[in-house]
Amino acid sequence: MVQRTIYRSVADAADAVLPLSPAAARQPMHTRRIRLDGFMRDDGLMDVEAHLVDTKPYAFETIDRGAITPGTPLHEMRVRITVDAAMTIVAAEAVTEHGPFFTCGGGAASFSKLVGLTIRAGFMRAANAPLTGVQGCTHIREMLQQIATVALQTMWPVRARQEEEAAGNPSGGDLSEADGSARLIDTCHAYSSAGAVVRRRWPHLYTGTGTDGAAGQGEPGVLVA
């Protein structure tokens, strides 16, 4: 039997627990933890810091470091970029605190080559170019996508508020094309131009038929099988 539940409001949907299916019998072998934080600085610039740690729950040997005990980082890298209001990187630094080889730290030096790039369409291609191959570190490079996302998430509310105020639209009302938010349309499932989110936030840009599963007073209907 299939049971369908319609949540009448965003709050109802947020309270729903939607876990993964039960896991098979298994043993942990590797853990990667990545933390990213965005900061608005007093000088008007923005910092994004990323911290990556790889550990294993068992002991093993490496050529340079010898025995690595359970929980001791195999990889540990820290990154910081500083971005201006135009989303241009004005400073970038990285350091490798732990790597399997003594020479791993040299791959972090190339991260400073990101200075001058702007986080916008095409950023990943431009950012990867000076960091690929022997010029960089695979694990630092893997964090680029998340660093860019956190930069946008950090700067977005600041820029939106400034543009709303400049347009005479005080914060707190529905967002519109004026603050650039409408550029999110059709970039993911939730922001489909035919979906409930766009219908509520940008009704003038909505392309759906009004039967997109929304329920209640303009709130999205979430169906769970």
- What would the pLDDT profile of 55-97 be if each residue is shown by its tens digit? 999 999 999 999 999 999 999 999 999 999 999 999 999 999 9
Cα pseudo-dihedral 114, 120, 126, 130, rounded to 10: 20
**pLDDT < 70 regions, the chain:** 1-17, 163-164, 166-182, 211-225
Per-residue pLDDT at 161: 74
Per-residue pLDDT at 25: 96
Query: Which one-letter amino acid corresponds to residue 23?
Result: A
Per-residue pLDDT at 169: 59
Per-residue pLDDT at 217: 34
Domains present along the chain, CATH in parentheses: 30-156 (3.90.1010), 174-224 (no CATH)
Q: Centre a 10 Å sphere on the Cβ of residue 155 and count the other Cβ atoms it contains.
A: 20
CA-only gyration radius of the chain, Å: 22
Query: Which one-letter amino acid corresponds to residue 199?
Result: R
Per-residue pLDDT at 13: 53
3-state secondary structure of 34: strand
Q: Any residues with CB less than 8 A from the CB of 203 and at least 6 apart, and which? A: none
Per-residue pLDDT at 180: 58
d(CA 16, CA 151): 29
